[in-house]
Amino acid sequence: METTRTDRFKTAILLIAATGLIAGLAFYFSGEPDVANAVWIAGVVPALAALVVEILRSLRSGEVGLDIVAALSMSAALVFGETLAAAVVAVMYSGGTFLEAFAEGRARREMHDLLSRVPRTATRHRNGGLEEVPLNEIAPGDRLLIRQGDVVPVDGTLSSETAFVDTSALTGESLPVRLRYGAEAMSGSTNAGEAFDLIATHEAKDSTYAGIVRLVEEAQASKAPMSRLADRWSLGFLAVTVSIAFAAWWFTGDPIRAVAVLVVATPCPLILAVPVALVAGLSRAAHFGVLIKGAGPLETMARIRTLILDKTGTLTDGRPQIVAIDSHDGMAEEDILRLAAALDQASKHPVAQAIVAAAKERGFSLPVPSDVAEIPGEGVVGYVEGRKIIVGGDAFVASRVGRRPGDHSAIAAGSVLVAVAVDGHMVGHLVMSDPLRDGAGQMLDGLRREGIARILLATGDRADVAERVTEGLGLDGLRAGLTPDQKVLLVLTERKNGPVMMVGDGVNDAPALAAADVGVAMGARGAAASAEAADVVLLVDRIDRLGLGIEIARGARRIAVESVVAGIGLSVMGMIAAAFGYLTPVQGALLQEVIDVAVILNALRALRIAPHEPTIPKPKAVSSGQDDIAQGATP
């Protein structure tokens, strides 16, 4: 509401100034110069008064901006009778502020699209029927109907067999994502297929989309350090302007030359080109699923020299996958997996759930187990299709079938060995590992090309597991076995060499993310605590988007610097020309507005930054390790 009132006020000032300029010209060419002067003054005074009020507000908050030059030029033009020049400056100044508002609105359009997509109600199953309820009435456990085209209102798990959801508004993924029964659905995504049922897991205020909206609002309200730096530059520019104007008057005795210098030095929207460029960068990054919490973090992100990566869930996928199935009793590999997965449906252990997911991905139909008993940290025993099945660690299963554990020293570090027994016989083993993310190597190479000097791995996992995972990645350092406070110490140590970025996804990463100059959270599957502590959230579960975000940040900052340097440089050249009498006050005003418009349009180039998207290779099984799994945990 406040923004709307401000925009209307700026529009009104522009209309008054423009009307005064045009009406004054009409009277002037009608042979009534005195009336023209009066009309021009009437058009200038409201713009000058609004400008003075804005300057006083800035001074009270300790800021000195280039608007002082605009006030000086209008005042000097009125004092020395250059009313037409004053009217032109008033139109140009009010037009510049209007253009600023329009440019910033254009830069934030994609963010407003996010806000406009917030659903107001949801369809809930109740007593055998359907009811439309406000979002704040949805509670975890409610069963919701998501119709085709609906925006998913809250985070939840899929209760139908399959669903197709469009996450492009959140992640930049162009193709719909297929979800299976039990999969997590992110609020803010759109149902691109048939209607499906969703079991709510969060209230609306705690869901992913609500968090994104809050981050967007914070981003829009932020002011970049570069903007404050530009304000400090204004002191030097103001001194240069006054010096040139005074010298022109002193050496020529012509006050009109001083007025012309002041008019040329009216860079009304110049300094706002910086936030326009950075806000445009925020919008562009959000399009690719990189949500940056403000222009400040974006500007810092562009200067990063050191990158610290967590391993599990960041550099690796974070979910164990089957890399091999060894059969010992002539049973087919497919049968071993199917029976193990059928029994593991009764367990919530990450490894058990990974086995179930692997079986479903292969299209296996899993029967319901019976008489299931789970021994925490050891394994699961039960019956599937009338056969007794045991799934768990090798030692646990071997003891249950009356045999000694085998020698599995050849298994790669960090791999998990899951034994499977059927009717008292050891039938095989499932070898599982946490694979390196596809394209991790290409992502790191791209970051080095973007100027990242040091890339380190920080993990709580064992050193042998971390070394195997990072083999061939060319990291500059590896720190294993770290506790959360040790990760913080590593971040603080590396900050001595320049700005540090930390990337993580777990609760244990949150302190380090908060300590880093820029903390990046893997928000698609990461913990809420890490997303809350981070400055940047990757909304899509792809580590390569980090490189895109940095490339966009550096592009936006480069464009912002270009805008400042070009705008101030051209203004100084114009002032010198005016001091030597080559520009009249009216010509100077027109020239300065051309410069201002050009600078704003240049800043908007940040909306067209096209980062180089890496080519992700086909998935391949890479043995690695998961922090808790690698330490011997079994289903």
Q: Which of 150, 155, 310, 596 is catalytic?
A: 310
* Terminal Cα distance for the chain, rounded: 55
Between helices 33-60 and 2-29, what is the axis angle to 10°? 160
For residues 33 and 24, what is the distance between their CA atoms, to the nearest angstrom?
8
Query: Under 8 Å CB-to-CB from 538, ≥6 apart: which residues?
Result: 289, 290, 291, 520, 521, 522, 523, 524, 545, 546, 549
Q: Which tokens hold the place of 281? A: 């960068």
For residues 252 and 594, what is the distance between their CA atoms, to the nearest angstrom?
27
Burial of 213 (0-12, 13-18, 19+ CB in 10 A): middle
Three-state SS at 479: strand
Choose among 226, 233, 267, 268: nearest CA to 606: 226
The phi and psi torsions of 36 (rounded to 5 degrees) equal -60, -45
Choose among 309, 275, 316, 559: nearest CA to 452: 309
For residues 470 and 252, what is the distance between their CA atoms, to the nearest angstrom?
72
- Mark whether 310 is an active-site residue: yes
Q: Which tokens hold the place of 6? A: 């401000």
For residues 188 and 209, what is the distance between their CA atoms, to the nearest angstrom?
5
Alpha helices by DSSP H, 253-393: 255-264, 273-287, 295-301, 333-344, 350-361
Query: Under 8 Å CB-to-CB from 320, ≥6 apart: which residues?
Result: 350, 351, 354, 416, 432, 433, 434, 626, 629
Q: Which tokens hold the place of 508? A: 């244990």
- Polymer length in residues for the chain: 635
For residues 553 and 378, what is the distance between their CA atoms, to the nearest angstrom?
48
How many C-beta neighbours within 10 Å does residue 195 have?
14
Burial annotation 493-518 (CB, 10 A radius, 16+ → b, else e): ebeeeebbbbbbbbebbbbbbbbbbb
Between helices 255-264 and 67-79, what is the axis angle to 10°? 150
**Catalytic positions:** 310
